[in-house]
Amino acid sequence: MKILTVLTYYRPHTSGLTIYAERLARAFVARGHQVTVMTTQYDPSLPREEVMDGVRVIRVPVAARISKGVIAPTFGLVATKLVWQHDVVQLHLPQFDAPGVALRARLFRKPVVLTYHCDLFLTRTFFNRLINFVVNFQNNAAGILANHIVTYTQDYADNSAYLSSYASKLTPILPPVELPPPTPEAVSAFAKKHHINDRNPVIGMAARFAAEKGIEVLLDAMPKILGKYPKAQVLFAGTYQNVMGEQAYSDRLMPRIREYELQGHWTFLGNLDPVQMSAFYRNLNVLTIPSLNSTEAFGLVQIEAMLNGVPCVPSALPGVRRPVQMHKMGIVSEIGNAESLANSILDVLDNPEKYRGDIEEIQKAYNPDSIAQEYEKLFQSLRK
């Protein structure tokens, strides 16, 4: 099968959406399919075309940026050619260009499946409200044109105004999750580098430094956590400098974080490769996902942590709460409530054996090959 995957950002850009798309594309290739990813050349230094892990990646030049989005004038022209050449089209939403690609798929009688990752929720300014309106309009146009829509969980779908509108053509499919196992040497080297020992608890966050991630909730929870564990530290993995559209948020929080850095309670790690991420998880006592709104739909990092035996404390957002509820490895805290977050983290730190899960079962549920098979069944049913 020739599969065309279309999304605004692809690797090496790092986000839950791009990681999902990359894992799924590689799994399709491993199962013998021909996969092309059409995306934007968000960084001019990236090649216009290359092959990554057997996946053909075509990047369309960007003429301008608007907030976290891009304008690529030749996107439609390239999409016309590629849609015609493939058997099925998979679109990752939110995406401004999705309805145009979906329309081409309909005209060429090619099945089109949307993978809906999250709602868009930008800070409340007039300009951002306009962007929200336009993207929501585009997403709805794509939803009307799509043959089918995939989301991570029914929990998220039931609480999403967008997905609820398309319940008749909706299928929940869990996201693909995989990480290479770390070597004992890598785990030990990581611990040594970041001054980790078994006596002092380590709290992890793995995210972009962005307002929807609820970083300030963890900051507000720190005094209570440190009151019980004076040498506790936070390790923050992910992009934390020059994050698109997040400079004001960063400027507001960084003075508080710098104080914790100086005291040895907070360390920024930057982006880590998969092997480094595995070593990161193995050095944690708990991972937290204190996200604040529906731009977070699941939190793939929770499953990565659980696969490494690490319990999680997510916020009670629809979808985000499901991994802990399904696998019993952690506690769900109240959204935006620092007291609840602190209490939940302390409970996990105090009772680690209480939150051990069935890692083998989790691994089977999120294996990329299994997820690719679910998509295959859907694609084949739509091609009949």
pLDDT of residue 295: 83
Q: Are 311 and 286 in contact (CB under 8 A)?
A: yes
pLDDT for 187 beyond 80: yes
103-126 pLDDT per residue, tens: 999 999 999 999 999 877 655 666
Q: For residues 235 and 193, give the distance between their C-alpha atoms in angstroms, rounded to a whole number.
A: 12
137-155: average pLDDT: 94
pLDDT mean across residues, the chain: 93
Does 2-176+367-383 match 184-364 in CATH topology? yes
Residue 121's region, left for phi above 0, alpha for psi from -120 to 50, else beta, is beta
CA distance 344 to 311: 11
Check whether 293 has a pLDDT greater than 80.
yes
Average pLDDT on 129-145 reads: 82
Residue 353 reports pLDDT greater than 70: yes
The answer to whether residue 94 scores a pLDDT higher than 70 is yes
Q: Are strands 88-93 and 69-71 parallel, antiparallel or unpaired?
A: unpaired
Residue 252 has pLDDT above 80, yes or no: yes
The average pLDDT across 312-321 equals 97
Residue 139 pLDDT grade (very low, low, confident, very high; cuts 50, 70, 90): confident
Cβ-contact 232, 200 below 8 angstroms: yes
> Taking the CB of residue 374, how many other CB atoms lie within 10 A of it?
15
Give the sign of the dihedral formed by CA 43, CA 18, CA 235, CA 183.
Answer: negative
Read off the pLDDT of residues 31-82 as tens digits, 9 standing for 90 and up.
999 999 999 999 999 999 999 999 999 999 998 877 667 788 899 999 999 9
Beta bridge partners of 16: none
**Residue range 304-319: mean pLDDT, rounded:** 97
If we measure between CA atoms, which residue out of 255, 190, 263, 206 comes closest to residue 232? 263
Q: Give the 3-state DSSP-derived string for 301-343, with helices as H, strands as E and coil as C.
A: HHHHHHHCCCCEEEECCCCCCHHHHHHCCECCECCCCHHHHHH
Distance, in Å, from the CA atom of 316 to the CA atom of 294, rounded to the nearest integer, reads: 11
Give 353's DSSP letter: G
Q: Can you tell me the mean pLDDT for 317-323? A: 97
pLDDT bin (cut points 50, 70, 90) of residue 137 is: confident
Class in CATH terms, 2-176+367-383: alpha beta
- pLDDT tier for residue 131 given thresholds of 50, 70 and 90: low
Average pLDDT over residues 353-378: 95
Q: pLDDT tens digit string along 321-340?
A: 999 999 999 999 999 999 99
d(CA 285, CA 148): 40
pTM: 0.87
Which of 6-15, 61-70, 147-156 has the least mean pLDDT? 61-70
Domain 184-364 -> CATH class? alpha beta
Distance (Å, rounded) from C-alpha 175 to C-alpha 320? 12
Q: Residue 227 half-sphere exposure, CB side, CA atoms within 13 Å?
A: 10
Give kind and range of the element (H or E) at residue 14: none
3-state class (DSSP) for residue 8? coil
* CA torsion angle 154 158 163 165 (round to 10): 130
Task: Give the separation between CA 47 and CA 82, rounded to whole angstroms.
Answer: 18
Pairing mode of beta strands 233-237, 148-151 = unpaired
Task: Give the residue among 240, 233, 341 at the shortest CA–CA distance from 284.
Answer: 233
Contacts with 295 (C-beta within 8 Å, 6 or more apart), sequence order: 118, 119, 120, 121, 212
Which band of pLDDT confidence, cut at 50, 70 and 90, is reported for residue 209? very high
Pairwise CA distance, residues 218 & 197, whole Å: 22
Decide if pLDDT at 130 tops 90: no
Placement of tokens 């996969």 in the chain = 35
In this structure, what is the dihedral angle of CA atoms 190, 196, 197, 198, given to the nearest 10 degrees?
A: -90
pLDDT at 25: 98
Q: Which of 317, 304, 311, 320 shows the shortest CA–CA distance to 366?
A: 304
Domain ranges of the chain: 2-176+367-383, 184-364
Task: Name the residue with tokens 């936070």.
Answer: 234
User: Which backbone phi and psi does 34 adopt, to 5 degrees?
Assistant: -100, 115
Integer Cα distance of 200 and 238 in angstroms: 22
